[in-house]
Amino acid sequence: MRIFATGRMGSIGKHLDGVDSLSIRFPSKEADMQNELTYRKCDTLIHLAAVTNPIQVAQDKIYSGYINVDAPVALLKAFIKSGGEQFVFASTGHIYGPQVVGHLSLETDEPNPISAYAEQKLKAESALIEVATRHEIDLTILRIFSVFGSSMANHYLAGTVSSQVGKQTSFPIIHNSEDVRDFSSPPWVAEKINEFCYLKRGGITICNIASGIPMSIREKVLLEFPLWPANCFDGLQSNMSWLVGSNQLLNGLLP
């Protein structure tokens, strides 16, 4: 089985094993995508590429909307025409939006995204499901919760903290430090994505990539970066103070 992925150089993509990089620049014509996929003989395609920086998404919703919504749909259509078998789409746990404290978000919960990025991901999910259902192709949607690793880009919390610890000059205040999230490392998320590529369930699969373990941002930062000053947290919560995913379906699907 030939497995390819977009976004191979990203925080998660660089940890995928046995997966080749699919070099498609966006914007790109659907016919060009199809030719590339046919030439590569791609059986399974993991689509990770996205605009994830919240500032960039907010500042240019037309461009980010194209990359996060239109491009995945065009890619799926090209993949279908090339004879592909399984399309794996990286979504986000943020589509659930604010949750009641103590509730573990289930795949059956009604989405309530409050960020532009989460709204775009949910819109992409709906469009991909419609296309996949019409063409009867395997589609796996993975709702990935908070990824935290030192090698991540600076617009992610972990990347910001890691770069500041490396400088050891000034430590900014981390805002909304008492927000509770479901943290996972990039290698662990990549491992789960790899496993889904060989699952072969058929039809539409939507699954959380989550640990089910609640932890505040402050606790996570101090656990991973003990040198971070304990007084550099604001002690506050945002309008999404709790977002933790249920891993019940994940554990039931994967060995």
| Domain 3-147+184-210+247-253 bears CATH identifier 3.40.50.720 | yes
Query: Distance between CA atoms of 42 and 5, rounded to whole angstroms?
Result: 10
- Residue 153 vs residues 131, 139, 186, 187, 220: alpha-carbon distances, Å: 32, 28, 12, 15, 17
CA max distance for the chain: 56
Beta-sheet pairing, 214-216 with 180-182 = antiparallel
Place of tokens 């746990």: 93
pTM over 0.85? The answer is: yes
> Which tens digits make up the pLDDT trace of 94-152?
999 999 999 999 999 999 999 999 999 999 999 999 999 999 999 999 999 999 997 78
pLDDT class of 169 with cuts at 50, 70, 90: low
Count of residues making up the chain: 255
Q: What is the pLDDT of residue 191?
A: 97
> Which tens digits make up the pLDDT trace of 65-101?
999 999 999 999 999 999 999 999 999 999 999 999 9
> Which tens digits make up the pLDDT trace of 18-36?
999 987 777 778 888 888 8
Q: Is 56 exposed, middle or buried (0-12, 13-18, 19+ CB in 10 A)?
A: middle
- Amino acid residing at 238: S
